[in-house]
Homo-oligomer: A and B are copies of this chain.
Amino acid sequence: MHPSFAPFVEPPYYVVIFTNQHAAPDDTDYHATGAEMEALAKTMPGYLGFESARGKDGFGFAISYWESEEAIKNWKRQADHLNAQRRGRSDWYEDYVVRVAKVERAYQMKRQTEATGDE
């Protein structure tokens, strides 16, 4: 599997879909904070994985996977993450939507093995 993918985990678990339109895609500060937040998220209880992509137009997703809703709430309240959220609202994003959802089914296709959902 390509390294951009989060590890495959059997449902059920939770996902936070952060859909956003970036105001300044080349902001160095933004990229540094993003990397810090990803490193910090990995240390949080219940963290399962992270994926992100952004197109040339600045529209993109940051998607994180969690064992439980409690783990998500805990991460949302984390102090450094609260600061990053504030910067996001004030400086980085034109618009965004956050969705919290419970993953009920999942399957995968890997080019090498054609396996589905049984990693």
Q: Taking beta carbons and an 8 Å cutoff, which residues of A are in contact with B?
A: 1-2, 4-6, 8, 11, 15, 17, 19, 21, 23, 51, 53-57, 59-61, 63, 69, 89, 93-111
Contact = CB atoms under 8 A, between A and B. Distances in A.
B105 A99 contact: yes
Query: Helix, strand, loop or mixed for chain A's interface?
Result: strand
Contacts of A107: 97-98
A54 to B, nearest CB: 6
B21 A95 contact: no
Contacts of A21: 2, 4-5
B5 A95 contact: yes
Given A97-B108, A100-B106, A104-B100, A17 B15 contact: yes
